[in-house]
Amino acid sequence: MIHIELSCTGFSVAIVGNNYAFTLGSRSRNLDMRALMNTVEIDQTLNEWHEEMKALRHDLHSHPELAFQELRTSSLIKNKLTQWNIEVVSAIAITGVVGIIRGQQPGSRAIGLRADMDALPLKEENTFAHASVHENKMHGCGHDGHVLMLLAAARYLATHNDFCGIVYLIFQPAEESGGGARKMMAEGLFELFPMDAVFGMHNWPGLALGHFGIKPGPIMASTNYFHITVKGKGAHAAMPQLSVDPVVAIAQLALALQTVVSRNLNPLSAAVLSITQMNVGNAHNVIPAAGTLVGSVRTLTLDVLDLIEKRVKELSLTISSAFGCEAQVNFVRNDPPTINHADETEFCLGVLKSTFGEDEIHTEIEPSMAAEDFSWMLLEKPGCYIWIGNGALAQPGASHGVVSCALHNSHYDFNDRLIDIGAKYWIQLALAKLPNQ
């Protein structure tokens, strides 16, 4: 059923069907009607390809590759894109790949869809047939599945390119470590492939299978660490009066740093400061001359990060000085917070609701204090990063279905049912974002 209302300010069209219910307005950011009426065809096509895509995902899972070593993965991606007559540019950031799908109608508009593809230095403990064949390498974060969701979408869009503009398929290396996003950008990602917006997606254990989490503003935290060296004067443990003891200074500093979040920040500001290493001395009868303190910092905003860095340095210097020691502080900022842009998030929310229904979409999610280097892309381009549910959290060893182990767990596995669901989102987003004129 279609209902049309006209007014002096524009029009609206309401469409109601078995698989969708949505309203379109006259604003350019609203969804294109034609792009969201082909859900049955998309479902049927993806279902026909499912076993083939599943086999490819299992192949990638069996052959995990670490940051900037994704040579086999990159080759598989290039071969498949070429097989589907998709233009390919490779060797960006060593192993990065960009596929280019041009719409039937030329246009200046373009979007980027990004999937990461590296694995973790983790020993896999799964015993299924597609477990890792490489010792201490594992797809424990689901990047093998991210690749397949985007490949399936690419295959569909290559033969259903009834859109105006260009879709860039960004297969990024080294998300886990190594700064793959920044390296691709430094090597001209956005200059070589000019795009109006960029979009990302990550599977999320703890979110119901096939459901989506989306919110404007911060959705993932920044990741940072500090390394503090405290220098004193060593001596015999039986003669402490001859020492300038760094052990006591480091112990006091470790306790004082725990007050930064609890006493210096607004209680409503989210942040984590964790001491993860204390390295002092190596003999029971020697007061060492120096020691180190190492920790991790996560924040959702840069102003909170600025304050934490300031206090870490102040406390390190003053407390060390109070005990007669000297301190050297190295505070390293890695990835910034992943912050979704409001307009693009609203658009993606519309696509999700129209494609999957209101009940599958969760907008009241809490941000995660884990980090994601897609954040660098969102600093340069408007965009939105969403979560796709991999299933409720389960104990290691549980059979897969609607449950999932946590990310970075040695028993984790990407749920193959998400290949079609994630690909469908990518397809509908591209068609809606680049409608024909």
Least confident of 76-85, 142-151, 391-400: 391-400
User: Domain ends where: 285, 310, 335?
Assistant: 335
Predicted confidence at residue 38, as pLDDT, reads 77
Q: What is the pLDDT of residues 141-193, one digit of tens each?
A: 999 999 999 999 999 999 999 999 999 999 999 999 889 999 999 999 999 99
Q: What is the pLDDT of residue 15?
A: 39
Pair 387, 253 in one domain? no
Q: Which of 305, 335, 365 is the last residue of a domain?
A: 335
As a whole number, mean pLDDT of residues 242-256 equals 98
Residues 51 and 118 in one domain: yes
Q: Which of 335, 352, 386 is the last residue of a domain?
A: 335
If asked whether residues 83 and 214 sit together in one domain, one would say yes
What domain range is 331 assigned to? 223-335
Q: Are residues 86 and 201 in the same domain?
A: yes
Q: Are residues 162 and 257 in the same domain?
A: no
For residues 216 and 233, membership in a common domain is answered with no
pLDDT band with cut points at 50, 70 and 90 for residue 398: low
Does the pLDDT value for residue 16 go beyond 50? no
Percent residues over pLDDT 70 in the chain: 89
Same domain, 233 and 309: yes
Q: Are 86 and 403 in contact (CB under 8 A)?
A: no
Task: Give me the number of domains the chain comprises.
Answer: 3
Provide, rounded to the nearest whole percent, the portion of the chain with pLDDT above 90.
Answer: 86
State pLDDT tens for residues 332-381: 999 999 999 999 999 999 999 999 999 999 999 999 999 999 999 999 99
Quick one: 254 and 232 in the same domain?
A: yes
Count of C-beta atoms within a 10 Å radius of residue 172: 29
Residue 48 and residue 17 share a domain = no
- What's the pLDDT at 104? 95
Same domain, 230 and 90: no
Name the residue with higher pLDDT: 1 or 172.
172
Structural tokens at position 126:
């799964």
User: 179's torsion region: left (phi>0), alpha (psi -120 to 50) or beta?
Assistant: left
State the CATH number of the domain containing residue 272.
3.30.70.360
Distance of CA 436 to the CA centre of its chain: 30
Does one domain contain both 318 and 348? Answer: no
Regarding whether 103 and 42 lie in a shared domain, the answer is yes
Q: Would you say residue 236 has pLDDT above 60? A: yes
What is the predicted pLDDT for the residue at 158? 98
3-state helix, strand and coil shares in percent for the chain, rounded to the nearest 5 = 35, 30, 35
> What's residue 177's pLDDT?
85
What CATH number did the domain enclosing 63 receive?
A: 3.40.630.10
Which whole number is the average pLDDT over 86-100? 98
The answer for residues whose C-beta is within 8 angstroms of residue 236's C-beta and 6 or more apart is 242, 285, 286, 287
Whole-number Cα distances in Å, 329 to 190, 235, 289, 315, 336:
35, 24, 17, 10, 20
pLDDT recorded at residue 39: 86
